[in-house]
A and B are shown apart, each in its own frame.
Chain A
């Protein structure tokens, strides 16, 4: 079929602006204002896709977001391929390249369609029944092949080059849907002067008014009224109008997710123009004006291309100027199809027959059709269609009752319009946790009691017809804005009976006939009946077994008909069968819009210290430590990490090293009860710690396990300078606040994070004092004045400092805290002063090796959340005389002191060249077969340059009692023999901290 179906005039397309586009490699012309679907229809293209399971040729069924069949991929370039777009929502632009899906090699000749012939062997629950044995075949054979055959579209293989935006918005009234009810609601709500947002998924506001012809509102045509209302709303600065905006999710507390298409509809978006924007709109009140979706009729061969929903055909005619065909059969169970028949008749289309399943339809629309001389057959069901790749004839049979039909008449046609009535769109209402209730009169589910501050208006709550929709929308808008505004719309429109038919029409075609319920997932009446015969009764089970309603369209056109068929099969009324849950998204959204701006450099904050840029200039290699970038090592020339770390380690031990410790967490604990608080929070005793002294503090959780550590300095009687691990700072501060606010609100003590107030420069090595001595003012660095584990306040390089004498290396060491803005200046001054003394910068890797040589633990490396202070050799730190501290009660339990607990020990390989793998297991005897008797694991392992051999720390069951024994590290191929030792490998007497 290649004839044009474009009308000579009419519609809101721009007749003088033709647009070239391609579909499956062939070039066509459309008009500005077309969708891809309307342009293809105008070109006589009826087959737009292949179905999911049987690969049946499918044409467009609807005209909006409910479309289940015409799914296409739109391609801009290799990286920009958007699959599974509904052709009914793809706005045409010059140069648009679209491809059909789920077919090979071509739409009109698809090898996969052989599946349709095999359909007797692919019943409901086919996957569950067929691919169960042998079990091992699922991963390698069944699943990959099913996925390859069944896929709907293909994802692009390159990274998404587009950008996406995000926006949080707040309003008093959010209205979803801009049809007559939504526009009227906006008119009312905007009168209060509060913020109103109106969103609609289409490119124009107006909904059904965009394809209305005969309606007159307040003396204006529907279209003119719509234009005036939109202009009035747009002029109101408190009103935000959003088009191309898919309200896809209704979240708790009236938060609505909206995906707005920004540039997808443009022929050539500006370079860097964002593609989509995610709106998270928090509304005081929501008005749902989401309308209703026309129901297909369920009859044999109802999926043949050319069979479309009646009201959609009206939209194609009145909005796009496209005819569904030249000779049309209308099959219906609802009055609205007569409106479509009348409009098409006026446009010169031959209405070959109107087959109405109802015995006695009446009302103004039916009468108008009769008056126009249209051939109406009442009490007739459509019982089949024929035609290759498109409908060519319809089979109409008189309904005799009790599921029987009489002899058929064959009517030639090139299109069939169908309507079973309209199903209110309760998707968002249901997402809001509102409960739907069955309406006997309309035979549909309607919104019941609200769970959120929302109300539905218009067709989505069964208020069908233009007059009712306007009145209901205005009242809802007034209510949502907490106003009492009133307005009577004067409406002239022909309204029909809102009731339609639900479920399948009777037929005489036997068991082989396929009457589709769910077009997108290829579910037929037969599948549903089979599921019932096999014992399924709950709609939730039947849905999962047959996959009805589970496709990307979420059963927008199929859910109610499915319930009707199941109701018949179970012989139970629909409300007893229930309704499945509607889930977001209402229509699919891209991953891009959900990821939003959190990509690339903005994926996560990258935190850097005041000294970071210096390290960059020195060629440091960095590692990520929580969100921080920390210098890991400073390679010289062509050094690798091993060589650099070896050199840095030796330099610290022999001369001096400088290390950026700014990322350490810092908390200022201040108040008269500061020491008491520290006593209760830490395992250590603090009361007797003198002003100007430091102590290594350990924090346990309530369960007695070590959770953080760090040096604490006492600045004054009522002020402590607490340090934590780099990653632990927020956690420790939150834990402290928690205890203060919930357990000890009586204590006069307060916490302030000072992590970023100070840059911290660690200067470690025998030359440290010599280097510093010329830089400080008012500070006596002598061992007598500033002993190990003490601190002093004064000035360095002219800026105030808190200078700690502490060591995490075992060498004479200082940690110089200065206000962050001066960090780099002081660092550079120390660096310059250190040059004659052989000062080197070192990174976190060297820091790790140096502390391991001294047996100092790293919380989170030696500990894993199940180590007590005693397990890691810190019993000495416990303030035993204290009445209580966090974790004390747990530590008193017998199991916490069991002799076979894993304890911190050192491991020395018999072969000093072997560096063990961190995480390796420890066993007592060699040559074991799996499962081995594991007694521990390696927590830290390095080559020690100063010792000229490898060292390792490990947590070993009863480890301290095993010191001196030989144990084994099982590795593939062999066991490595190691000696259990003290964890302190270097300078066990601890004399080096004295310089």
Chain B
């Protein structure tokens, strides 16, 4: 239980929103197409695009890899918004056989593998905190937590990991 929750490695974060032409063009910089299926993530290497809404993605990538500049270049004058949020939130990784059960203490979504398969991502809540939740493996979840909610989320997860006798 001690290692259930760890910090994700540092990464750059950008919110990408825009019209279809810009989203098409973004593919050139990303190296893959933005996922269009609701609540799904797509990845290549350490670049990940998480679907947050019909015109909104969270782009995760390596720190200082110049991806934002390449995206701006690729999208050019096509209407879009690219906003850096690297410091807005922090990444937590919950891993282990109990991960799903522990999250289910505070998250009302169905986290069963059939309903929430690997590669699924969504904005949801963990008890009283809003979180981004992304399943990266059968027993591994990546949480995006707004910076000021980290203490609460970690404390909640610690309490949630208590297994009744």
Question: What residues of chain A have their CB less than 8 Å away from a CB belonging to chain B?
Answer: 163, 165-170, 195, 262-263, 266, 269-270, 272-274, 277, 280, 282, 597-598, 601-602, 604-610, 627-628, 668, 670-673, 748-750, 752-758, 819-821
CA distance A749 to B81 in the complex (A): 7
**Is the beta-carbon distance between A263 and B165 smaller than 8 angstroms?**
yes
Q: Which of B26-34, B40-48, B133-141, B142-150 contacts A (4 or more CB under 8 A)?
A: B142-150
Q: Within the complex, which residue of B15, B107, B148, B151 is in contact with A756, where a contact is CB–CB below 8 Å?
A: B148
CA distance A165 to B101 in the complex (A): 12
Contacting residues, chain B, for A610 (C-beta < 8 A): 147
CB of B36 closer than 8 Å to a CB of A: no
11 residue pairs from A and B, CB less than 8 Å apart:
A165-B160, A167-B105, A168-B105, A170-B111, A170-B112, A263-B164, A270-B165, A273-B164, A672-B79, A749-B81, A752-B83
**Is the beta-carbon distance between A277 and B87 smaller than 8 angstroms?**
no
Given known A166-B106, A168-B107, A671-B79, contact A757–B159 (CB-CB < 8 A): no
**Is the beta-carbon distance between A170 and B87 smaller than 8 angstroms?**
no
Q: Within the complex, which residue of A277, A609, A752 is in contact with B148, where a contact is CB–CB below 8 Å?
A: A609
Using CB atoms, name the residue of chain B closest to A194. Answer: B114
Contacting residues, chain A, for B159 (C-beta < 8 A): 163, 597, 602
**Is the beta-carbon distance between B151 and A608 smaller than 8 angstroms?**
yes
Q: A750-B56, A757-B86 are in contact. List 16 more A-B contacts (CB 8 A).
A: A165-B164, A168-B108, A168-B109, A170-B115, A262-B165, A263-B164, A263-B165, A266-B165, A273-B164, A602-B127, A605-B129, A605-B151, A670-B81, A752-B17, A754-B85, A820-B147
CB of B70 closer than 8 Å to a CB of A: no
CA distance A597 to B159 in the complex (A): 8
Nearest 5 CB-CB pairs, A to B? A670-B81, A607-B148, A605-B152, A748-B79, A750-B81
Contacting residues, chain B, for A820 (C-beta < 8 A): 87-88, 147
**Is the beta-carbon distance between A597 and B148 smaller than 8 angstroms?**
no
Max chain B Cβ within 10 angstroms of own Cβ: one of A165, A263, A266, A756: A756
**Is the beta-carbon distance between B110 and A170 smaller than 8 angstroms?**
yes
Q: How far is the CB of A318 from chain B (nearest CB, A)?
A: 30
Given known A168-B104, A597-B159, contact A605–B149 (CB-CB < 8 A): yes
CB of B155 closer than 8 Å to a CB of A: yes
Q: How far is the CB of B159 from chain A (nearest CB, A)?
A: 6
Q: How far is the CB of B37 from chain A (nearest CB, A)?
A: 21
Contacting residues, chain A, for B149 (C-beta < 8 A): 605, 607
Given known A168-B104, A263-B165, contact A757–B88 (CB-CB < 8 A): yes
CA distance A12 to B127 in the complex (A): 42
CA distance A627 to B129 in the complex (A): 11
CA distance A753 to B81 in the complex (A): 12
CA distance A269 to B104 in the complex (A): 24
Interface string of B52-89 (1 = CB under 8 A from A): 00011000000000000000000000011111111111
**Is the beta-carbon distance between B86 and A819 smaller than 8 angstroms?**
yes
CB of B7 closer than 8 Å to a CB of A: no
Contacting residues, chain A, for B55 (C-beta < 8 A): 750
**Is the beta-carbon distance between A757 and B84 smaller than 8 angstroms?**
yes
Q: How far is the CB of B40 from chain A (nearest CB, A)?
A: 20
Contacting residues, chain B, for A608 (C-beta < 8 A): 148, 151
Contacting residues, chain A, for B127 (C-beta < 8 A): 166, 597-598, 602
**Is the beta-carbon distance between B147 and A282 smaller than 8 angstroms?**
no
CA distance A821 to B147 in the complex (A): 9
CB of B18 closer than 8 Å to a CB of A: yes
Using CB atoms, name the residue of chain A closest to B129. Answer: A605
Interface string of B87-123 (1 = CB under 8 A from A): 1110000000000010011111111100100000000
**Is the beta-carbon distance between A273 and B165 smaller than 8 angstroms?**
yes
**Is the beta-carbon distance between A758 and B87 smaller than 8 angstroms?**
yes
Q: How far is the CB of B38 from chain A (nearest CB, A)?
A: 17
Q: How far is the CB of A172 from chain B (nearest CB, A)?
A: 10
Q: How far is the CB of B12 from chain A (nearest CB, A)?
A: 11
**Is the beta-carbon distance between A752 and B81 smaller than 8 angstroms?**
yes
CA distance A280 to B164 in the complex (A): 17
Given known A277-B164, A609-B148, contact A604–B128 (CB-CB < 8 A): yes
Contacting residues, chain A, for B146 (C-beta < 8 A): 756
Using CB atoms, name the residue of chain B closest to A823. Answer: B87
**Is the beta-carbon distance between B165 and A601 smaller than 8 angstroms?**
no
**Is the beta-carbon distance between A668 and B81 smaller than 8 angstroms?**
yes
**Is the beta-carbon distance between B83 and A668 smaller than 8 angstroms?**
yes
**Is the beta-carbon distance between B129 and A671 smaller than 8 angstroms?**
no
Contacting residues, chain A, for B160 (C-beta < 8 A): 165-166, 597
Q: How far is the CB of B97 from chain A (nearest CB, A)?
A: 12
Contacting residues, chain A, for B148 (C-beta < 8 A): 605, 607-609, 627-628, 756
Contacting residues, chain A, for B111 (C-beta < 8 A): 170
CB of B2 closer than 8 Å to a CB of A: no
Using CB atoms, name the residue of chain B closest to A277. Answer: B164
Contacting residues, chain A, for B88 (C-beta < 8 A): 753-757, 820
Q: How far is the CB of A93 from chain B (nearest CB, A)?
A: 14
Given known A597-B127, A602-B155, A604-B128, contact A750–B85 (CB-CB < 8 A): no
**Is the beta-carbon distance between A754 and B83 smaller than 8 angstroms?**
yes
Contacting residues, chain B, for A607 (C-beta < 8 A): 148-149
**Is the beta-carbon distance between A269 and B165 smaller than 8 angstroms?**
yes
Q: How far is the CB of A133 from chain B (nearest CB, A)?
A: 49
Q: How far is the CB of A128 from chain B (nearest CB, A)?
A: 43
Q: How far is the CB of A826 from chain B (nearest CB, A)?
A: 12
Using CB atoms, name the residue of chain A closest to B108. Answer: A168
CA distance A673 to B79 in the complex (A): 9
Q: Within the complex, which residue of A274, A628, A750 is in contact with B164, where a contact is CB–CB below 8 Å?
A: A274
Max chain B Cβ within 10 angstroms of own Cβ: one of A270, A280, A602, A819: A602
CA distance A602 to B129 in the complex (A): 11
Given known A597-B127, A607-B148, A671-B81, contact A165–B87 (CB-CB < 8 A): no
Q: How far is the CB of A178 from chain B (nearest CB, A)?
A: 20
Max chain B Cβ within 10 angstroms of own Cβ: one of A195, A598, A820: A820
**Is the beta-carbon distance between B105 and A598 smaller than 8 angstroms?**
no
CA distance A606 to B155 in the complex (A): 11
CA distance A755 to B83 in the complex (A): 12
**Is the beta-carbon distance between A597 and B156 smaller than 8 angstroms?**
yes
Contacting residues, chain A, for B164 (C-beta < 8 A): 165, 262-263, 273-274, 277
Q: Within the complex, which residue of A168, A269, A602, A756 is in contact with B156, where a contact is CB–CB below 8 Å?
A: A602
Q: How far is the CB of A818 from chain B (nearest CB, A)?
A: 9
**Is the beta-carbon distance between B165 and A169 smaller than 8 angstroms?**
no
Contacting residues, chain B, for A821 (C-beta < 8 A): 87
Given known A166-B106, A167-B105, A605-B152, contact A274–B162 (CB-CB < 8 A): yes
Q: How far is the CB of A200 from chain B (nearest CB, A)?
A: 17
